[in-house]
Amino acid sequence: MVNGDFDEKLEMVKYFVNDSRELLDDVEPQIIAMEEKALSSGKIDEEILNAIFRLFHSLKGSASFLDLQTIISVTHEAETLLDIFRKGQTAVEPGYVDLLIRTSDFIRNILDTVERQLNDNGYESGAAVIIEDLQKTIAAVSLSQGNSGNVEAAGSIPSEEAMDEPADAAEFTISGNLEEMSLAITPEMTQRFVEENLELLDDAEKTLLALEKEPGDLESAGQAFRALHSFKGNSGFLGYADLEELSHHAETLLDKIREGEKVCDSVAISFLLIAVDALRDGILQINQGISLEIPGQVEIITHLDKLSGDTDGSLDKGGPEQKCQALEVAGGFGQTHADEIPEKRPDQAEESRKPLKEPFKEENAVKNRGEKQPPSGQQQAIRVDIEKLDKLLDLVGELVISEAMVANNQDLKGLQLDRFEKAVLQLDKITRDIQEVAMSMRMIPLAGTFRKMVRLVRDLSQKANKKVSLEIIGEETEVDKTIIEQISDPLVHLIRNAVDHGLESPEDRLAVGKPESGRVTIEAKHSAGEVWIIVEDDGRGLDREKILKKGIERGLIKNEDRDFKDEEVWRLIFEPGFSTAEKISNISGRGVGMDVVSRNIEKLRGKVDVRSRPGIGTMIALRIPLTLAIIEGMVVRVGHTRYTIPINSIKESLQPKNWQITFTPDNLEIISIRGELLPVVRLHELYNVQPDCRLLTDGILVVVESEEKKSCLFVDEVVGQQQIVIKGLSNYLGHVRSVSGCAILGDGDISMILDVSDLINSVEGASA
C-alpha cells in the first residue's frame, strides 16, 4: 500500500523497525513477569496480560501499515492466544510462555530482514510453523476451558483473512475492562504519545499546505494520509476513540484524494486543516490533563464525509489497507460488524466516549503526581540525528582546545592582564557548561540494556536448571551512548557467569541453608564522576585456591610462598582463556567472557572491581568514567617532551628528600612516603628522552595509583592542570607502550597521555 518513493519507504521502514524493536524489548520482560506471577500466584496477572496484548496489537497495526504479511499473521495468532488467556482462568504453563518468547524472537529476526530488504519475504515457512504451534496451543487451551466457540473462531482463521475478523481486537478495546487497561498506561507513554502525535500533526499540516499549492501532488496526499493513519493507530492504541474517529474520517477523505477519486480543492484542504487543528486541540487537552472534548467534532466529520463523496466511507471497498482500517475502526466501536459501522457510528461514538472519560481522569491523577506539568503546546523533546550529536561533541572538544590556546597563549606570558583574565575565566566557565550539556545530550538510561537481561536470566536459569530471581536497581541511571554500546556484552558475560558458575543448584543451596532460589542483582549508580554497574550474586563465591592453582599452572603468577592479595588472585580471571571450569557447558567455561569484560571496560577507560566471599557471593563492579572524550589532565615535562597524566589517577606530587630514597640490590629506587614504599619509574628512561634532572632530589615525583597499586613517576617539572581532549594516536602507529592516546595542549603541541595502569603493571613485570 505504500506508494511513496523508495527513500520515503526506507525512512518509514526504519522507523517501523526501530519502534517494533522497542516494542519487543518491552514485551519480553512482560512475558517473563507474567510467567513469574503466574507461577507464584497460580493466576495470570491481567494487567500484564493486557500490556502484552497491546504490544502485540500495535506491532500488528504498524506491520499492516507496511503490508508485512508474515508479521501480521504471526502477531495475530499470538493475540488470539493471549485473548483466550485473558478470558479464561487458564493457568499459564511454561510451554506457552516459551511459545510467546519464540514468537517475539521470530519477529525480531524478521525485523532484521525487513531492515535490509524492506520486506518480510522468506519467512513464510518459519511463520507457518509458529502459527501452527500457536494454533495448536490455542486449541488446547480453549478445549481445556471448554470454550468451543473460541476454538472455532481462533483455530479456523487463516492468517490472511484474519484481518477481516475484527472480533478479537474489538473485544480487546471495549470488552476488556477499561479501568484496568488505563492503569497500565503510564504517564511516560502518554507523554510519548503526545509528542509523537504532535509531530505527526505538524507533518500532516505541512503536507496539506503543500498539497493546497499543488493540488495534483498525490505524493503529498499520500504523506498526509500516512501521518494521519499513524495518528489514528496511536490514538486507538491508547484508547482515545474520539481522536481515532476524527482522524479516520480525515484519512478517508485523503485516501480518496490520493487515489485520485476526489479532486483536491481548497474546500477539502480547509476542512482537513480544521480536522488537524481539532485533533491537535485534543492532544493538547490530553497533555494538560483536561478530559478530552473535541469541539464541533460531529460537524467536522459530517463535512469530511460529504467531501469524501459517500457516507459509507471507504469501508466497503477491498484492498488490504481498507480492511485494516475497518479492523481498527471496528476496534474503536465495539462488536459491531464492519458493514454496520457507518450507520451506527455517531451513537456508538457517543457511547464509547462516556466510559473512556473515566480512565483519562485516572491518568491525569497519575500525571499530576509526577514532577511538573509541561507548558501546553510546547514540544518537550525532538529527535536529533546521532551524527549531529557526535559532531557537536567533536566541536566542543575543539572548543576546549582553542580555549586553552587562548588562555595560555605564549604571547601573553608575563603581562598584567586583569580584565583579560576575567574574560578568560568567564569563557572557561561557559566552555565547561557547553561541554556538560553536550555530554548530557548523549546520555541514555540503562533501562533498555538492563531489561534485555531479564530475558537472559530466564533462559539461563532454565538451561542451567537453577532458580534465579533477578533484581534490577537504578535502571534509570543515564550513561553516554558509547557506554551503552560497550556495556551490553560484558553484562551478558557477567550474568552468565553469575548464573552458571556463581549460583549453586537448588539442592546445594538448600543443603547450605540458603533459599532455594538464587538472587542476581544488577545495579547502576553514579558515583564521583563515574558510573558504577554492579552485578552481584549470592552464590558460592570465587574459588580462590582453584584460581590460584590454575594461575600458577599457566604461569600467570609466580609460585611464591607468600600470601597473595585477593585482588591479585581475582585479576587472574580476566586473563584471556582463563577458566577453572573442568568442563565447558553450553553457557560458559571457555574463559572468553571475562576477557571480553575487561577489554570492553578498558576501552571505556573504566575499571573492574571484584569482591567475593566464599559461600556468600560475588560482586563485580564495572566503574566507568562518565565522560569519555574530555578529562582533567596534569601536564608534566621531561626534557622537551610533555606527558599528560589523567588527574584521577594522581595521588600527590612531591620533591623527595634524600632520606626517602632507598636503593635495592637490583638498583631499583624505592621511595618511602609516610611508611609506604613505592617504586620509582623514571619516565626519561622509559621513553628514552633527555631529561633536565637526573637526581631524584632535583625533580618531581608524581605518585600515581591504579587498581590499588601505586608508583612514583619521576619528571622534571609539573607544568599544570588542564582539560584534555583525548585523541587516538594514529592507527598507523599502532599501540604505543603505556600510552593511551594523545592530547593537544594549549600551545598546539601534542602530548602523550600516559596509561597509568599499564605503566604500573609494566614496572611490576620488570621488577618481578
Partner 1 sequence: MSLKERLDADLLNDEEDDEDTQEDKFLTFILGKEEYGIEIRFVTEIIGIQNITEVPDMPHYIKGVINLRGKVVPVMDVRLRFGVKERPYDDRTCIVVINIDDQSVGLIVDRVSEVLDIPKTEIEPPARVKKGENSRFIQGMGRVGEQVKILLNAHKLLFDEEQQY
CB of 690 vs partner 1, minimal distance in Å: 11
Q: Which is nearer to partner 1, 564 or 687 (by Cβ)?
A: 687
Please report how close the Cβ of residue 730 comes to partner 1 at its closest, in angstroms. 5
Q: Which is nearer to partner 1, 399 or 447 (CB)?
A: 399
Side chain identity, residue 320: P
d(CA 27, CA 100): 10
725 beta partners: 630
Return the half-sphere exposure (C-beta side, CA atoms, 13 A cut-off) of residue 396: 25
Distance of closest approach, residue 737 Cβ to partner 1, in angstroms:
5
Q: Where is 618: in which H helix or E strand?
A: strand 617-625
Q: CB count, 10 Å around CB of 404?
A: 22
Q: Give yes or no for a contact between 287 and 374, defined as CB atoms under 8 angstroms apart.
A: yes
Residue in this structure with the C-alpha cell 502477531, named with its chain if needed: 75
Q: State the nearest-atom distance from the C-beta of 384 to partner 1, in Å.
A: 23
Q: Which is nearer to partner 1, 658 or 730 (CB)?
A: 730
Phi, psi for 175 (deg, rounded to 5): -75, -30
| CB 629 to partner 1: min, Å | 13
Beta strands at 468-473 and 518-527: parallel, antiparallel or unpaired:
parallel
- Tell the smallest beta-carbon distance from residue 731 to partner 1 (Å): 6
CB atoms near residue 546 (< 10 Å): 12
User: What cell does 332 get?
Assistant: 474503536
d(CA 683, CA 674): 23
User: Least distance from C-beta 544 to partner 1, angstroms?
Assistant: 37
Least distance (Å) between residue 736 CB and partner 1: 6
Decide: helix, strand or coil at residue 316: coil
Nearer to partner 1, 89 or 731 (CB): 731
Instruction: Provide φ and ψ at 714, rounded to 5°.
Output: -95, 120
Cell numbers standing for residue 585: 557447558
Cα maximum dimension of the chain: 102
Nearer CB in complex with partner 1: 261/398 = 398
Instruction: Give the C-alpha separation, 456 to 442, whole Å.
Output: 27
- 243 Cβ partners below 8 Å, 6+ apart? 231, 232, 235, 279, 282, 283, 292, 294
**Do 221 and 202 contact (CB within 8 A), yes or no?**
no
CB of 713 to partner 1, least distance (A): 14
Nearer to partner 1, 316 or 749 (CB): 749
Q: How far is the CB of 126 from partner 1 (least distance, A)?
A: 40
- H or E segment to which residue 595 belongs: helix 593-603
The string of DSSP codes covering 233-259 is HHHHHHT-HHHHHHHHHHHHHHHHHHT
If the CB atoms of residues 540 and 684 are measured against partner 1, the closer one turns out to be 684
Q: What residues make contact with partner 1 under the rule CB under 8 A?
A: 397-398, 401, 641, 686-689, 727-733, 736-737, 739, 742, 744, 748-752
Least distance CB 642 / partner 1 (angstroms): 8
Q: Which is nearer to partner 1, 319 or 748 (CB)?
A: 748
CB of 752 to partner 1, least distance (A): 7
Residue found under cell 580555549? 403
- State the Cα–Cα distance between residues 6 and 604, nearest whole angstrom: 39
Tell me whether residue 698 or residue 749 sits nearer to partner 1 (CB atom).
749
Nearest to partner 1 of 420, 687 (CB atom): 687
In the bound state with partner 1, the residue whose beta carbon lies nearer, of 313 and 633, is 633
CB 435 within 8 A of CB 474: no
Q: Name residue 506's amino acid.
A: P
* Of residues 57 and 684, the one with the C-beta less far from partner 1: 684
